[in-house]
Chains A and B, each alone.
Chain A
Amino acid sequence: MGYLSNISRSEGDPKVVHPGRSSLGGVDRLVRALGWFSLGLGLAELLAPRQFTRALGMPGQEMLVRSYGLREIGSGVLSLSPDKTTGLWSRVGGDALDVLTLAAAYRADNPKRDNVALALAAVAGIMVLDLIGAQGVTGRHRRASGERRRYSDRSGFPQGVQSARGAARRDFRTPADMQAAPATAALPNGGDLAASTG
């Protein structure tokens, strides 16, 4: 993609010769993959719920599968956004819901019991990845609690705050194109603009 985009650059513009290390960590890439997985699964559940209910022996549960699809899409979008920590934890919560739903379907009278067992194993595996991802991004992107730096000595005014107050008023005039409307500009000689135009 980078090479393709070079079409839009001029001859003298620098072009990438050798890519370096990314700001994306390993855990960020895992989260991204899980986000896309979530979107894919969510779309499948939304568009083809009957395939799921048939395979899992849960006839009549199409609406439930569709709602889970919407949930997956929501989690996927969140996981792919800068708010990925929330997205990943929402996936972990969703996994727990999936486990409960599948456990309820893992009945002796379900002819597709074996499929349910497989699905449970798959969800457990994904849940482990989600937990690794959620804990990883939480750790990588959180602000450490407790110790913080103090900046109370950083006024930016070498001569002190008191001497800085209004210092620029002595030699700076607001340009004409940036002056405020009379209503909040200074009243002339402390007077009354309404009276002066009256």
Chain B
Amino acid sequence: MKALVWHGKEDIRCDAVTDPRIEDPRDAIVRVTSCAICGSDLHLFHNFIPAMLPGDIMGHEMMGEVVEVGSGVNGQLKKGERIVIPFTIICGECEQCRRGNFSVCETTNRKKHLAEKVFGHPTAGLFGYTHLTGGYPGGQAEYVRVPFADKTHIKVPEGLSDEQVLFLGDILPTGWQAAVQCDIQPDDTVAIWGCGPVGQMAIRSAILLGAAQVIAIDRLPERLDMAEAAGAVTINFDEESVIERLNELTDGKGPEKCIDAVGMESYVSPWQPDTIYDRAKQMLMLESDRPHVLREMIYVCRPAGVISVPGVYGGLIDKFPMGLAMNKGLTFRMGQTHVNRWTDDLLRRIEEGQIDPSFVITHTARLEDGPEMYKVFRDKQDSCVKVVLKP
């Protein structure tokens, strides 16, 4: 079969690979009908996430048709069913899964020994990601093996297109969880840094959850356009000061809730000197992430506010203003998404027409064109916001 394979920094290839095989009774094989390139795939593309190996298949946003099931799936899935595959692999049985903390499932990371060394404790297995999270082959491929398939799936009701439901596997619940963990109140201002796909979903989630004001921060006009379309007030940080404008929009008090949908690769600009410092340290491997957005959020957030971090961080950050955060009494909530915790509810909202996540798709291409689309997405060319690939 064909698959997009990581060969090194900025080197993704559409390779011919062997077909995946069932190796555990709880496995299923899915023929992928749609998959997407995620912003966090770009961190792998840039080799900022440790423990990737040449030959790893990319992709953690995918859906398709079940073509084979193991004997242990126990009728939970049948051949021919359409499913979206959540990017977090879950057993559904461990203590964390029973609490709904699916992204820290205690069972599914098959490389626990690595994760324990680096994270202290293992987290859930993830598709198409680092070997610290199991090194499971991803779904930017014609076929994917789904481990723990009896639990790791979202069934798609008839009548919904791939485009409407594909993002249930990651960016929609990620944006939703980012907003939910802010515990939005009707008089809250929610500020969201980054209008990429997760930021766009967080904006819509904050609107649905009834924030009085949603403010979206980015520098790319087309992304700000998209944010504005959902009812957000926008700030272009190339043109105005984020801190001044946020204070102006909140009577000097700052937003109660701040969401970081940027993560470890903050935009580098001379007007944000700390980003140059971080970039230099990152290149010399003295720091793994560029936390400009975190610093700005901590500075501008209203005291006793909430900082929500769906953006991916990979390792060590520097000059983290802990004193500000402590003295302002901020609450931090973060983590990979507990996808299945939210998907029943979100699927219902899609069916009822409350939200249609397909708005974010700007480019659709063949799987073979994937390597080129990585470049287009990374370089933000052709007003690209979200790429869907069709194997």
User: How far, in whole Å, are A174 and B381 apart by their CA atoms in the complex?
Assistant: 38
Q: A19 and B11: CB pair below 8 A?
A: no
Q: A165 and B207: CB pair below 8 A?
A: yes
Q: A28 and B10: CB pair below 8 A?
A: yes
Given A17-B18, A83-B279, A167-B354, A142 and B222 contact (CB-CB distance below 8 Å): no
Q: B230 and A23: CB pair below 8 A?
A: no
Q: A154 and B5: CB pair below 8 A?
A: no
Distance to closest chain B CB from A122 (angstroms): 27
Residues 167-184 of A at the B interface (beta carbon under 8 Å)? 167-169, 172, 174-175, 177-181, 183-184
In the complex formed, the residue of A with least CB distance to B282 is A81
Most buried by B among A11, A78, A166: A166
Instruction: Tell whether B272 is near chain A: CB-to-CB under 8 Å.
Output: no
Q: How many residues of B contact A (CB 8 A)?
A: 96
State which of B82-90, B150-158, B299-307 sits at the interface with chain A.
Answer: B299-307
What are the residues of chain A within 8 A of B80 when measuring CB–CB? none
* Option from A81, A157, A184 in Cβ contact (under 8 Å) with B256: A184
What are the residues of chain B within 8 A of A159 when measuring CB–CB? 353-354
1/0 contact string of B297-336 vs chain A (CB within 8 Å): 0000011111000000000000000000000010101000
Residues 144-198 of A at the B interface (beta carbon under 8 Å)? 144, 148-159, 161, 164-169, 172, 174-175, 177-181, 183-186
Q: A164 and B208: CB pair below 8 A?
A: yes
What are the residues of chain A within 8 A of B55 when measuring CB–CB? 1-3, 5-6, 9, 15-16
State which of B59-67, B71-79, B239-247, B370-378 sits at the interface with chain A.
Answer: B370-378
Residues 98-115 of B at the A interface (beta carbon under 8 Å)? 99-100, 110
User: How far, in whole Å, are A153 and B359 apart by their CA atoms in the complex?
Assistant: 9
Given A151-B385, A164-B354, A24 and B11 contact (CB-CB distance below 8 Å): yes
Distance to closest chain B CB from A130 (angstroms): 19
Residues 130-169 of B at the A interface (beta carbon under 8 Å)? 131, 135, 137, 141, 145
Given A154-B229, A186-B185, A172 and B353 contact (CB-CB distance below 8 Å): no
Instruction: Tell whether B116 is near chain A: CB-to-CB under 8 Å.
Output: no
Q: A20 and B15: CB pair below 8 A?
A: yes
Q: B3 and A155: CB pair below 8 A?
A: no
User: How far, in whole Å, are A166 and B283 apart by their CA atoms in the complex?
Assistant: 44
Interface of A is mostly: loop
Q: B185 and A77: CB pair below 8 A?
A: no
* Option from A3, A15, A22, A184 in Cβ contact (under 8 Å) with B11: A22
Q: B11 and A161: CB pair below 8 A?
A: no
Q: B200 and A156: CB pair below 8 A?
A: yes
What are the residues of chain A within 8 A of B283 when measuring CB–CB? 77-78, 81
Distance to closest chain B CB from A50 (angstroms): 27
Given A8-B131, A12-B22, A16-B5, A144 and B381 contact (CB-CB distance below 8 Å): yes
User: How far, in whole Å, are A169 and B357 apart by their CA atoms in the complex?
Assistant: 19
Q: B186 and A186: CB pair below 8 A?
A: yes
User: How far, in whole Å, are A5 and B331 apart by their CA atoms in the complex?
Assistant: 41
Given A1-B54, A155-B229, A168 and B13 contact (CB-CB distance below 8 Å): no
Q: B306 and A141: CB pair below 8 A?
A: no
Most buried by A among B2, B99, B226, B284: B226
User: How far, in whole Å, are A9 and B111 apart by their CA atoms in the complex?
Assistant: 10
Instruction: Tell whether A82 is near chain B: CB-to-CB under 8 Å.
Output: yes
Q: A14 and B204: CB pair below 8 A?
A: no
| B interface residues with partner A (beta carbon < 8 Å) | 1-3, 5, 7, 10-23, 27, 45-46, 53-57, 99-100, 110, 131, 135, 137, 141, 145, 180-188, 200, 204-205, 207-210, 221-223, 225-226, 228-231, 256-257, 268, 279, 283-284, 302-306, 329, 331, 333, 345, 349, 353-357, 359-360, 362, 368, 371-372, 374-375, 378-383, 385
A-B contact pairs, 21 of them (CB 8 A): A5-B55, A11-B23, A12-B20, A12-B23, A14-B57, A16-B17, A20-B16, A20-B371, A23-B45, A77-B283, A82-B46, A148-B383, A156-B229, A157-B355, A164-B208, A165-B207, A172-B180, A184-B183, A184-B185, A185-B183, A185-B185
Closest 4 CB pairs of A and B: A166-B210, A183-B304, A12-B23, A23-B371
| A interface residues with partner B (beta carbon < 8 Å) | 1-3, 5-6, 8-24, 28, 77-78, 81-83, 140-144, 148-159, 161, 164-169, 172, 174-175, 177-181, 183-186
Known A83-B279, A167-B354, A180-B306; further 13 A-B contacts with Cβ < 8 A: A2-B55, A3-B55, A14-B20, A15-B17, A16-B16, A19-B15, A21-B14, A23-B371, A166-B209, A178-B181, A180-B185, A181-B331, A185-B183
